[in-house]
Amino acid sequence: MLLELTDINKTFDSGEVQVKAVQHLNLSIGEFESVGLIGESGSGKTTVANMVIGLERPTSGSICYKGAEIALPQDVELSKAQLKERQARAAEFRRDVQMVFQHPAETFSERMTLGAGIEEGVIYRKQMTADERRKLMYEALEMVRLPASYAKKYAWEVSGGECQRAAFARAIISRPKLLLCDEPTSALDVTVQAQIIELLIQLSHELRMSCLFISHDLALVRGLCSRVYVMKDGVVVEQGETKQLFEHPQDPYTVELLSSVLDFRKKTER
Ligand SMILES: Nc1ncnc2c1ncn2[C@@H]1O[C@H](COP(=O)(O)OP(=O)(O)O)[C@@H](O)[C@H]1O
Ligand SMILES: [Mg+2]
């Protein structure tokens, strides 16, 4: 397995209230595999992605990347040597793993052109010259089907869909092994969503990345992922092969989730 989460728990302590955002989560992603994570708002999906990328630390449990532990559970104290070794591994992990967020504009600073923002994706490669970086940036723009002229534009000058394309360019410029996408289409118009989904399918084939797609857009997950996890209130209620799960959902919550989408389609088609 490329990535393996084992018995992950995450509890947020905000004063008197405790939120058990993720409970006893086991999730794995193989090499070149696309895995979906679906569930209603508040079910803990973003918390999972944030723990993988290191924005949050699990309360307990283990996260292994290529067989090596990368997460630092809150309750573990490490020696200096252990910490150093982990940091080295974490650096490799950070290069290999990229994330695309729900709101594309948040990826780019207001004062930076899209081109400069995309180049930041390889800024850690100190031996690379500015020319080489620029060349990669233009390649990345091409891969997400944006004209080269967009390198000089700012996030606020382009549409949401174009900005999300640029966010994908920034994520793939370093040729990540694992791409995490947290609701990458849900802030976009429906027609634009379809184009981004198509782009995503192409990119995941072209680049042979592993992907974790977090979405309540079941069509996206169905088109992209070979396996799916269904989360509710911090707990995985069902998981399995996408086709099997969509055609024969077992858990009542999955059934409800699938039928609510169908209801929504029926309503919007009318
Ligand atoms: N930083 C935080 N502090 C406190 N509670 C949080 C924090 N982040 C998320 N939560 C809570 O954890 C639960 C899961 O949230 P989240 O992972 O964002 O769900 P999803 O992405 O599925 O909508 C929610 O109840 C949310 O309010
Ligand atoms: Mg979320």
181: nearest Cα among 6, 35, 32? 35
Name the burial class of residue 184, with classes exposed (0-12), middle (13-18) and buried (19+) by CB atoms within 10 angstroms of its CB.
buried
219 band by pLDDT with thresholds 50, 70 and 90: confident
* Alpha helices, DSSP H, located in the chain: 45-53, 80-96, 114-119, 130-143, 160-172, 190-207, 218-224, 242-247, 252-269
23 band by pLDDT with thresholds 50, 70 and 90: very high
Q: What is the pLDDT of residues 91-113, one digit of tens each?
A: 778 789 999 988 888 889 889 99
What is the 8-class DSSP label of residue 77?
A: -
**Ligand 2: centre distance to CA 182 (Å):** 7
Please answer whether residues 167 and 181 qualify as being in contact, where contact means their C-beta atoms are separated by less than 8 angstroms: no
Give dist(CA 38, CA 227) in Å, integer: 11
**Ligand 2: centre distance to CA 119 (Å):** 27
Ligand 1 pocket, residue 170 CB under 6 Å: no
CATH topology of domain 3-104+183-269: Rossmann fold (3.40.50)
Q: Does residue 266 have a pLDDT over 70?
A: no
Nearest atom (ligand 1) to Cα of 47: 17
The pocket of ion ligand 2, defined by CB under 5 A, consists of 46
Ligand 1 pocket, residue 44 CB under 6 Å: yes
**Ligand 1: centre distance to CA 10 (Å):** 10
Enter the pTM of the model. 0.89
Instruction: Show the tokens assigned to 199.
Output: 């782009």
- Looking at every residue in the chain, the average pLDDT score rounds to 89
Nearest listed ligand to the Cα of residue 235: 1
- Please compute the mean of the pLDDT values over residues 35-48 and round it to a whole number: 94
Residue located nearest, by CA, to atom 16 of ligand 1: 44
pLDDT (0 to 100) of residue 71: 73
Please answer whether residues 76 and 268 qualify as being in contact, where contact means their C-beta atoms are separated by less than 8 angstroms: no
Beta strands in 30-119 (DSSP E): 34-38, 60-65, 68-69, 97-100
Q: Does residue 9 have a pLDDT over 70?
A: yes
Instruction: Show the tokens assigned to 27.
Output: 């999730």
Mapped onto helix, strand or coil, the DSSP state of residue 49 is helix
**Ligand 2: centre distance to CA 156 (Å):** 23
Contacts of 230 (CB under 8 A, 6+ apart): 38, 39, 236, 237, 238, 239, 245, 251, 253, 254, 257
pLDDT (0 to 100) of residue 246: 92
The interaxial angle of helices 160-172 and 190-207, nearest 10 deg, is 10
pLDDT (0 to 100) of residue 243: 94
Contacts of 253 (CB under 8 A, 6+ apart): 230, 232, 237, 238
Ligand 1 pocket, residue 15 CB under 6 Å: no
Residue located nearest, by CA, to atom 6 of ligand 1: 12
Phi and psi torsions of 86, nearest 5°: -65, -40
Domain ranges of the chain: 3-104+183-269
β-sheet bridge partners, residue 182? 214
Residue located nearest, by CA, to atom 7 of ligand 1: 12
Instruction: Show the tokens assigned to 34.
Output: 């696309």
Alpha-carbon Rg for the chain, nearest whole angstrom, is 19
